[in-house]
Amino acid sequence: MKILKFGGTSVGSAARIKGLLDIVDPNERQIVVLSAVSGTTNALVEIGQAFLNGDKQLAKQLIITHKDKYEELIKELFATEEGLKKGKELIDHHFHVIESLANNDIFTPTEEKIILAQGELMSTALWHFHLEEIGVASVLLPALEFMKIDEDNEPIIDHIKQRLSPFLNDNTDNKLFITQGFICRNSFGEIDNLRRGGSDYTASLIGAALGADEVQIWTDIDGMHNNDPRIVTNTSPIAHLSFDEAAELAYFGAKILHPQSVFPAQRYNVPVRLLNTMDPGAHGTLISKAGSEKGIIRAIAAKDGITAIHIHSSRMLLAYGFLRKVFEIFERYKTPIDMITTSEVAVSLSIDDTSNLLEIIKEVEVFGKVGVDEGQTIVCVVGDFGANTHGYAARVLDAVKHLPIRMISYGGSDYNVSILLDTKHKVEALRSLHNRLF
């Protein structure tokens, strides 16, 4: 069995929804994971924010505006009165769910997640109804019945397998299954989600739970490129990556793949292929255990929105337990650390979640003088940087020697060299590294 995931742009119009059958083979057993129609999640976030601010009138206007777009979509998608009727009833139901939240006296994150879930619930049902209208058999699998996260927001793969397998076993005569990406239930049974970009994660989790032959991520670019094609010219797709290389690139800014989606596939050794909906014949990028040839630099990625925290304290000299105490502060506030460098009297680290920055600084100041640099970017060069290779790190640093670098991370992984610099230097860094390395 294969798992195919299609993002919002791949279902961004009636024509593209119909065009999924140019890629999906109804005669091959597979599960298709769909994101919400392009633009829907952003619109639902805006509606939720209006509710959160207590502006029910604005929320109502936004709901009407967005529902009108779906009214036009179903007119283009369905060719029969019966199909149009089912489509109309569907969107009426889901927008009624959203509108009904205006009756709540208090709007909480739980209600916000209910709103966000409506996008994927509509896109999957609309495609299922379209296939039904044209005589193509399919089964709609409700993700909220099998996709679950625990109290630490970690997916429970055993639960996914336990709940999903009966759905498939009860439909052995069917080959095409459709389910929602992104959405799930939490440990309290409430509607929740896998965060933005989570449809990739859904596909990978399903692939891992079922031991799928392959997970395919269909998007609007022909695989993972060796640099950001929006900034750098003459980039090229990478034919083959290892799981470790792909994980580094995804985490440090490669937008084509959700960072978490690599790990379930890696753990259960399920190959992942990145493909282009607009050019189905393109080779794309295969991510697997074997990976590509050794001894080469693979790609460059950049991650914006980074904040650097510098802690200087003469009291930390030779003091065991210092780093543990610092890390415990970030752990308490559930704030992951991206990079870290240390010396005898100082430690510098970077984070991308600043929601608890003030509280963290207040606690860290107990250890010494604290400095904060916002508006930073991590530029990550991924390749074979193992102990037996030589010269690559020097080439990386030589390419950016004319730029002011705030931090360098090398040796923590065999697969990357990362540098931190001010975001205003990002474009120059990406282009200079590309010219020097490729």
78 labelled binding-site residue: no
**Token digits for 188?**
């309290």
Question: CB under 8 Å to 28, separation ≥6 — which residues?
Answer: 2, 175
Run of H or E residues at 405: strand 405-410
**Token digits for 326?**
């610092």
Residue with tokens 């890696």: 266
285: amino acid identity, one letter: T
8 labelled binding-site residue: yes
65 labelled binding-site residue: no
374 and 352 Cβ atoms separated by less than 8 Å: no
> How many CB atoms neighbour CB 68 within 10 A?
10
7 labelled binding-site residue: yes
119: amino acid identity, one letter: G
219 labelled binding-site residue: yes
**What is the rounded CA–CA span in Å between residue 147 and residue 202?**
8
Distances (CA, A) of 10 to 22, 43, 176, 179, 194: 12, 18, 18, 15, 20
382 and 247 Cβ atoms separated by less than 8 Å: no
181 labelled binding-site residue: no
Question: CB under 8 Å to 188, separation ≥6 — which residues?
Answer: none
133 labelled binding-site residue: no
Run of H or E residues at 378: strand 369-383
**What is the rounded CA–CA span in Å between residue 71 and residue 88?**
7
8: amino acid identity, one letter: G
Could you tell me which residues are annotated as the binding site?
5-8, 41, 120, 219-220, 230
Could you tell me which residues are annotated as the binding site for ATP?
5-8, 219-220, 230
Could you tell me which residues are annotated as the binding site for substrate?
41, 120
